[in-house]
Amino acid sequence: MQFLRTSDADFPKKFDRVVRDRRESDAQVGRDVATMINEVRERGDSALVEYTTRFDGHHLTRDSDWQIPLKDCRAAYEALDSDLRDALELAASRIRAYHEGQLPSDRDYTDDIGMRLGARWRPVDAAGLYVPGGRAAYPSSLLMNAIPARVAGVERLVVTTPTPKGEVNPLVLAAAHIAGVDEIWRVGGAQAVAALAYGTKRIGKVDVIAGPGNAWVAEAKRQLYGVVGIDMVAGPSEILVIADGNNNPDWIAADLLSQAEHDPTSQSILITDSENLARQVEDAVDITLMKLPTAKTAKASWDTHGLIVLVDSLDEAPALSDRLAAEHVELMVDEPQSLFDAMRHAGSVFLGRHTPEAVGDYIAGPNHVLPTGRRARFASGLSVLDFMKRTSFIDASEAALAAIGPAAIKLAEAEGLPAHALSISTRLK
């Protein structure tokens, strides 16, 4: 953990180093992934069989090795402890309600020269959702990815997920049942992303691929962007807690560790104007780590990437926060609105002492798939718009074309595009 003070002379240089540190994958991952994508594109299912045996120890032999039937999802759902089932249903209904409010409106109007103009939104035909296996198999991720696609109106919703040594996660299957997934393929890694993008004999291709994954999965999505749509380029996640001195250090420590326990490359940052709180939080982190089952990961993250920045005044916080453009920003003060108003770049903001980031991970309603690694400067969290696209349209009456056609002809001629000009002038004769 690094401790910086904005009043120190070398603060700008040190903070700059934090901002530039990408914590991301290397060129070797890029080359490996390019090879895997090519193999799947060229050899289809047989490449999937080989990679799945090699990386997951799962043999894709019979049909039942390839797909998890939807009735298994229903069975997993029905076998759930009722508290857990209720929690998943509550999460799903709140996520659904929030995302329904994102559905865009079409435009269709006629302007002052009598030209009809507009734009029409439609869902993509098919979406693929990557669901990690093993430690990072989260039912909450499935809900957060699948529900926006369903709300968008996507007809075919395909999940791919690795099942190491054949193992499946019943919670994920139950979530798939709740979200109404159409197909679940037991394939993971970059090879699954390639199969979704290009299609194989067994797995029909999709138009958009969303969902979290390790560095290989993220790199495969990045390389295939353009062949398909993708949700975003994802990297290790981060939390920034902005807190005044009037906080319970245990609460803040838990919030910082809730990010750190995800992955050793996660980053947790505290900005505070209270040296006292800063020291108390440091201690609370150490104490909490002693009893935390995920302490190994959380400690690795906190030790390597953890940061406390002591500011003279919280007025300095929004500018620092904008430079970090963090995935999650907590404003742990009594009146968070003014800090929020002063901020420009963040994935999601958690206002006030009773809004820990984890409430947003599961159940508040907004999406927990958010831009990481400073990408909140230009990117947004996952939404129904990621599963839709817009078609603009123009309908010119004869009179409207006569009104503005001559100007278009002038411009086409100036650009040296005579057929463009002709396509208008021939109609104005």
Q: Where in 131-190 is the site for its own copies (CB under 8 A)?
A: 135, 138-140, 171
Q: Which residues are annotated as a binding site for substrate?
A: 237, 259, 262, 328, 361, 415, 420
Contact 141, 92 (CB under 8 A): no
Catalytic residues: 327-328
Query: For residues 257 and 60, what is the distance between their CA atoms, to the nearest angstrom?
Result: 39
**Interface with its own copies, residue 300, by CB under 8 A:** no
Q: Where in 61-120 is the site for its own copies (CB under 8 A)?
A: 83-84, 86-88, 90-91, 94, 97-98, 101-102, 107, 111, 115-117, 119
Six token digits for residue 183: 């197909």
For residue 130, report the phi and psi dihedrals to the nearest 5 degrees. -85, 130
Six token digits for residue 5: 């003070």
**Interface with its own copies, residue 380, by CB under 8 A:** yes
**Interface with its own copies, residue 334, by CB under 8 A:** no
Distances (CA, A) of 293 to 144, 248, 306: 25, 22, 19
**Interface with its own copies, residue 362, by CB under 8 A:** yes
Largest CA distance in the chain: 84
Contact 137, 161 (CB under 8 A): yes
In angstroms, give the least distance from the CB of 46 to its own copies. 21
In angstroms, give the least distance from the CB of 311 to its own copies. 21
In angstroms, give the least distance from the CB of 157 to its own copies. 14
| Buried b or exposed e, range 229-238, using 16+ CB within 10 angstroms | bbbbbbbbbb
**Interface with its own copies, residue 19, by CB under 8 A:** no
Nearer to its own copies by Cβ, of 60 and 281: the residue is 281
| E strand segments, 124-210 | 126-130, 156-160, 183-185, 208-210
**Interface with its own copies, residue 354, by CB under 8 A:** yes
One of 95, 270, 366, 384 touching its own copies (CB under 8 A)? 366
- Helix pair 189-198, 215-224: axis angle to 10 deg: 20
In angstroms, give the least distance from the CB of 56 to its own copies. 20
Query: Could you give the angle at the alpha carbon of 267 between the alpha carbons of 271 and 98, nearest 5°?
Result: 85
In angstroms, give the least distance from the CB of 335 to its own copies. 11
Nearer to its own copies by Cβ, of 204 and 352: the residue is 352
Nearer to its own copies by Cβ, of 17 and 135: the residue is 135
In angstroms, give the least distance from the CB of 217 to its own copies. 14
**Interface with its own copies, residue 333, by CB under 8 A:** no
- Part in contact with its own copies (CB under 8 A); list of ranges 54-62, 274-282, 311-319, 345-353: 345-353
**Interface with its own copies, residue 393, by CB under 8 A:** yes
**Interface with its own copies, residue 124, by CB under 8 A:** yes
One of 128, 229, 264, 306 touching its own copies (CB under 8 A)? 229
Q: Which residues are annotated as a binding site?
A: 130, 191, 214, 237, 259, 262, 328, 361, 415, 420
Contact 299, 289 (CB under 8 A): yes
| Local structure of 38: helix, strand or coil | helix
Six token digits for residue 367: 């999406």
Query: For residues 263 and 163, what is the distance between their CA atoms, to the nearest angstrom?
Result: 20
Q: Where in 396-415 is the site for its own copies (CB under 8 A)?
A: 396-398, 400-401, 404-408, 410-412, 414-415
Contact 231, 210 (CB under 8 A): yes
Altogether, the residues listed in the chain come to a count of: 429
- Part in contact with its own copies (CB under 8 A); list of ranges 5-13, 180-188, 309-317, 338-346: 338-346
Q: Which residues are annotated as a binding site for NAD(+)?
A: 130, 191, 214
**Interface with its own copies, residue 367, by CB under 8 A:** yes
One of 226, 290, 313, 334 touching its own copies (CB under 8 A)? 226
- Part in contact with its own copies (CB under 8 A); list of ranges 10-18, 61-69, 258-266, 313-321: 258-266
Nearer to its own copies by Cβ, of 49 and 231: the residue is 231
Contact 332, 243 (CB under 8 A): yes
The total of other beta-carbon atoms located within 10 Å of residue 330's CB is: 27
Distances (CA, A) of 131 to 137, 168, 172, 186, 396: 6, 11, 9, 10, 47
Q: What is the dihedral of CA 159, 161, 165, 167, to 10 degrees?
A: -70
**Interface with its own copies, residue 383, by CB under 8 A:** yes
- Helix pair 275-291, 249-260: axis angle to 10 deg: 60
